[in-house]
Every structure is written in C-alpha cells, then in structure tokens.
C-alpha cells in the first residue's frame, strides 16, 4: 500500500513541477495543475477498486504532450504500466489540431479501459472548465462545438466506467446550459 501511495504522490509532484508555468485557457487563467488534480480525483473517486497506476497516469496524462517529458523518463520514474497509459492518451502534436481531434474520435473505441477512463475524466474536467471559466475568445458556437466533439470522443469510451460516464453527461448538459 505504501508503494501505491508513493507512486501517486511522486506522479503528482512530477506533474506539478513539469506544468509549473502553464495556465488553463479560461479567463481565470488558473494553474494547469488544477486540471491534472481534477482528472486524478475523478479517476480515484469513480473506481470500484484502487488503481494507483491509473491515478498516477491521470496526474501525468499531459506530460509527454505538453512538457517535453519523454516516454523513457516516465518508464524510468513510474514504470511501464504508467508510461504506457500516458503514451496511449497522448496526441501527436506534430499533426494539425483538426487531425488530432479527428483521431481522438476514431481511436477512442480501441483504447484500453484505463485509457478510456483517463479520456473521459479529461473531457469532464475540460467541460467543467468551460462552464466555470470559458476562454475570452470562445464564442457560444465554439463552446458548443467543443461539447459536441467531446461527446463524440466519449461515445467511443462508453461501457468502461459508468460513474465517469454519468458525470460526463451531467457536465455536457451543464456546458450547453452555460452558453
């Protein structure tokens, strides 16, 4: 048990340090680490059994994509199980944004159950952020387009974690009402 707590704590610390200078896009410009904490908490709260590797990967899910962290670093520090999960949910930033979004929808049904859970938790956090602090340059249409796209991604993740899926559905309704 101590090893599991240590894994999650080390992942949180690593993620916070790697994302230290990053802010969310919303008008409140909250620290990016708040998003990571919310994803990890959603995962922890929705699991029927503890899964330290999944919670650690929730903390780390954007490190390869957004901080220059490598798969090899994650493997060395957190093990293959965590590194593989992070890699599985990482977008290829060399592709145009529209292509990355299309691929998320296309590939979601083929992800592992744990990767699907991370994807759903990530989309919940993003929807909640849109409600609480939408980006200044996002109009109603852009918010609704994001909600529709997130619903398309999550559609391919359904059947894995009913609790997360229910929270996502509530978050999508709230986001639509907020605009």
Residue 167, beta-bridge partner list: none
How far is Cα 33 from Cα 69, in angstroms, rounded to an integer?
15
Catalytic annotation present for 66: yes
* Active-site annotation holder among 65, 73, 84, 151: 65
* Active-site annotation holder among 45, 62, 66, 91: 66
Catalytic annotation present for 65: yes
Tokens standing for residue 150? 């997130």
Residues designated as active site: 65-66
């Amino acid at each position: 048990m101590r090893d599991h707590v240590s894994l999650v704590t080390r992942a949180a610390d690593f993620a916070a340090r790697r994302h230290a200078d990053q802010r969310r896009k919303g008008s409140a410009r909250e620290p990016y680490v708040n998003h990571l904490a919310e994803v990890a908490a959603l995962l922890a709260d929705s699991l029927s059994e503890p899964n330290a590797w999944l919670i650690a990967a929730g903390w780390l899910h954007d490190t390869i994509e957004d901080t220059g962290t490598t798969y090899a670093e994650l493997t060395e520090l957190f093990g293959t199980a965590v590194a593989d999960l992070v890699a599985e949910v990482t977008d290829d930033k060399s592709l145009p944004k529209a292509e990355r979004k299309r691929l998320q929808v296309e590939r979601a049904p083929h992800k592992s159950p744990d990767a699907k859970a991370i994807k759903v938790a990530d989309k919940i956090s993003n929807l909640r952020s849109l409600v609480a602090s939408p980006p200044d340059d996002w109009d109603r249409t852009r918010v609704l387009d994001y909600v529709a796209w997130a619903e398309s991604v999550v559609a391919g993740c359904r059947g894995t974690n009913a609790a997360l899926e229910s929270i996502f559905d509530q978050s999508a309704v709230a986001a639509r009402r907020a605009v």
